[in-house]
């Protein structure tokens, strides 16, 4: 049996299969989940990874005899698993078998409780880790006659998305969509029949967990080359790149420029404040100043949050926020159980462009007000000690200091955030400035200071 404790992360379980986790370990994880949560109905979905059928079978074996019902959700995207948690109160625990955008040798699980409540490190995964990695601790078995049922959620899922977007507003678009041989290749065709104005040019729609074309991670430069070439070749209106499990998407304008998470959050915030005037919009500490500027211009309310889907979902529930956006391409919706949803984000962006009669290059330019550094990683020995020294050195002249998720320091002409990795000895630096010259100047200052403390670029 293999269960490496390092596979239990802040937001999910993620492992190199047969090196960090094997099917016997998966079976034990199922028993550990039962011991903690005592579910009676467990819903299990999976992505197209080559190891997913084996992980599914091992989970079923582990739960059989303990629970009354197991729902086989089949091949779904991760955001569909969150929908199950919100839509169907019978499901006590929902498990999505996926490793998101990781290379093919990986697999894992994203776990959700009834009500679409995420299970993270501090809310159960670390407890689960401690239980299942103690091999001397016996775990429960049972003799129930567990019923296994195929559960088709597609009709409800599609209707729920189309209830938030008025598809009649969406004008004709020619769209190149790169599914990366991931789950978008499964769900885009099911939506397309309801959206006759869209001409979809598919790239890598065949489900293939070996990822023969590229790793399905839209943040990798090599992952966007194919869609960029196809957009230009086909003279398409836009391109779209999904990640492997289909819960993140990035939009490319007709010239081949990729909209950042900040730009897309600003677009969606503006559009949703037209739908929900005065609503509250959440955005994480790494996103740019254009977002609060848009919110203010639309007479909405804004609130900055820590990075991470479990943080945003919790704060959305506490505040009733209508929407939340992250720099990483995750976008969250109150009206879909406070969960992230990639296909809805695309449809809302198309609706916005249609209503405002804008090309996506115009949208890119509209929200591309401030240059950003992108994320720069530094290896350090003592993350918290370095963060404190950065605060002491740079903080006295800052107009605002945010002391969560590391530290963010705001000034008149720039801001930067340094936050610690939860799983590695890394600090992550993000900076934005009023122009490129200022960005370069202040970036050199901060990087030089970090290096003087012994930090090394990762």
- Nearest residue to 187 via CA among 52, 79, 264, 82: 79
Given 51, 52, 81, 100, the catalytic residue: 100
Residues 6+ apart with CB under 8 A from 109: 12, 13, 29, 55, 95, 96, 97, 98
Contacts of 19 (CB under 8 A, 6+ apart): 2, 4, 105
**Strand 400-402 and strand 407-410: pairing?**
antiparallel
Question: Closest Cα partner for 91 from 99, 101, 100, 82?
Answer: 82
Give the C-alpha separation, 1 to 449, whole Å: 46
Q: How far apart are the first and last CA of the chain?
A: 33
For 136-226, where are the E strands, in sequence order? Answer: 147-150, 173-178, 198-203
Q: Would you list the DSSP string of 16-37?
A: EBTTTB-HHHHHHHHHHHHHHH
Give the span between the Cα atoms of 173 and 451, in whole angstroms: 48
Contact 194, 167 (CB under 8 A): yes
Distance, in Å, from the CA atom of 108 to the CA atom of 326, rounded to the nearest integer, reads 22
| Spatial contact of 317 and 332, defined as CB atoms under 8 Å apart | no
For 424, residues 6+ apart whose C-beta sits below 8 A from its C-beta are none
Phi, psi at residue 324, to the nearest 5°? Answer: -140, 145
Q: Which two tokens stand for residue 126?
A: 């670390």
Count Cα atoms within 13 angstroms, Cβ side, for 311: 16
| Residues in contact with 120: Cβ distance below 8 Å, sequence separation at least 6, in sequence order | 10, 11, 308, 310
Are the CB atoms for 182 and 207 separated by under 8 Å? yes
Q: Which residues pair with 110 in a beta bridge?
A: 96
Q: How far is CA 41 from CA 90, 151, 378, in A?
A: 7, 12, 44
100 is catalytic: yes
The residues annotated with a catalytic role in the active site are: 100
């Amino acid at each position: 049996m293999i269960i490496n404790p390092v596979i239990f992360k802040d937001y999910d379980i993620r492992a190199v299969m047969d090196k960090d986790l094997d099917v016997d370990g998966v079976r034990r994880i199922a028993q550990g989940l039962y011991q903690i949560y005592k579910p009676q109905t467990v819903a299990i979905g999976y992505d197209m990874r080559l190891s997913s059928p084996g992980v599914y079978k091992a989970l079923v074996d582990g739960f059989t005899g303990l629970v009354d019902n197991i729902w086989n959700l089949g091949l779904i995207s991760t955001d569909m698993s969150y929908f199950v948690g919100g839509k169907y109160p019978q499901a006590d625990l929902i498990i999505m078998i996926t490793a998101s955008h990781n290379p093919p040798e990986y697999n894992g699980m994203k776990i959700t409780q009834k009500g679409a409540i995420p299970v993270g490190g501090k809310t159960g995964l670390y407890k689960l880790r401690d239980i299942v990695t103690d091999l001397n601790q016996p775990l429960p078995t049972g003799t129930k006659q567990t019923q296994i049922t195929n559960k088709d959620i597609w009709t409800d899922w599609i209707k729920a998305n189309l209830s938030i977007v008025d598809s009649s507003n969406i004008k004709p678009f020619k769209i190149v969509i790169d599914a990366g041989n991931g789950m978008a290749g499964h769900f885009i065709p099911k939506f397309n029949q309801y959206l006759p104005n869209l001409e979809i040019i598919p790239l890598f729609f065949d489900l293939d967990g070996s990822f023969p074309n590229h790793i399905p991670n839209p943040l990798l430069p090599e992952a966007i080359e194919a869609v960029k070439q196809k957009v230009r070749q086909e003279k398409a209106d836009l391109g779209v790149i999904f990640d492997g499990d289909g819960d993140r998407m990035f939009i490319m304008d007709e010239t081949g420029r990729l909209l950042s998470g900040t730009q897309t959050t600003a677009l969606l915030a503006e559009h949703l404040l037209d739908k929900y005037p005065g609503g509250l919009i959440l955005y994480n500490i790494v996103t740019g100043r254009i977002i609060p500027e848009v919110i203010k211009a639309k007479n909405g309310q804004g609130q900055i949050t820590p990075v991470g889907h479990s943080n945003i979902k919790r704060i959305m529930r506490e505040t009733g926020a209508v929407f939340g956006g992250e720099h990483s391409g995750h976008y969250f919706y109150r009206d879909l159980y406070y969960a992230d949803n990639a296909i809805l984000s695309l449809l809302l962006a198309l609706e916005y462009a249609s209503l405002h009669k804008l090309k996506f290059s115009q949208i890119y330019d509209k929200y591309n007000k401030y240059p950003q550094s992108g994320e720069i990683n530094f290896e350090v020995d003592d993350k918290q000690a370095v963060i404190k020294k950065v605060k002491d050195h740079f903080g006295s002249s800052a107009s605002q200091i945010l002391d969560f998720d590391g530290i963010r320091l705001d000034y008149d002409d720039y801001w930067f955030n340094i936050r610690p990795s939860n799983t590695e000895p890394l600090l992550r630096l993000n900076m934005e400035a009023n122009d490129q010259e200022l960005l370069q100047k202040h970036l050199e200052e901060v990087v030089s200071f970090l290096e003087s403390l012994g930090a090394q670029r990762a």
